[in-house]
Amino acid sequence: MFRQDISPFKNFSLVRGGKTFDTEGCAICTVFSITEQESPIFFSATNIKKRIKEMYAKGYIDNEFTILGPKGWKGCFTVLGLKVKGVRYESNVNYHCRSNERESLKLVKPGYAHFVHGNGKGVYVYDSLGRRPQQKDYTLSEKRIVML
């Protein structure tokens, strides 16, 4: 499973003086996590940085590690070698994924949003920041549904 040790990414930024991956890359972490779950691919820290730079160069993410819309999400998976039919936003937080779907959950609290890998029923299975007591402060606001 995609590692929770983000120490190799402490100072990793796409632009000089920009935001760093360890504080802003949670949505991208779910893309790596879902890809590793669905394929035999394992990503080293060096390979992760290379792939993220490729996502940026292709316009799938911005310089603050934000994935740019459904096409950006699909593009990120393509860069990692996982073929997906598409990605859509789902505002019904009670939506349960079909057998060919996976989810990334958007959790929010005032002034902050965070993405985690869900189990298909709105419960997180992987959080790039680990299991923390603060998670109870977040509310599930929507989902990114990945169609395999």
2 domain residue, yes or no: no
Query: Is residue 1 assigned to a domain?
Result: no
Q: What is the pTM assigned to this prediction?
A: 0.91
Cα–Cα distance for residue pair 88/147, rounded to 1 Å: 8
Chain mean pLDDT for the chain:
90
**What is the spatial distance between Cα 38 and Cα 47, in angstroms, rounded to a whole number?**
18
Check residue 1 and give its pLDDT. 47
Q: Which element (helix H / strand E) includes 20? A: none
Question: What is the mean pLDDT of the segment spanning 7-32?
Answer: 87
The answer to whether residue 132 is domain-embedded is yes
Report if residue 96 sits inside a domain.
yes
pLDDT attached to residue 86: 97
Is pLDDT of 80 > 70? yes
3-state helix, strand, coil in the chain (%, to 5): 35, 25, 40
The reply to whether 79 falls in a domain is yes
Residue with tokens 């993220």: 52
Residues of the domain holding 72: 7-147
Helix (H, G, I), strand (E, B) or coil at 25: coil
How many domains are contained in the chain? 1
Q: Which two tokens stand for residue 10?
A: 């402490």
Quote the Cα angle for 51-55-58, to 5°: 130
- Give the tens place of pLDDT for each residue, 84-126: 999 999 999 999 999 999 999 999 999 889 999 999 999 888 8
Q: Tell me if 55 is assigned to some domain.
A: yes
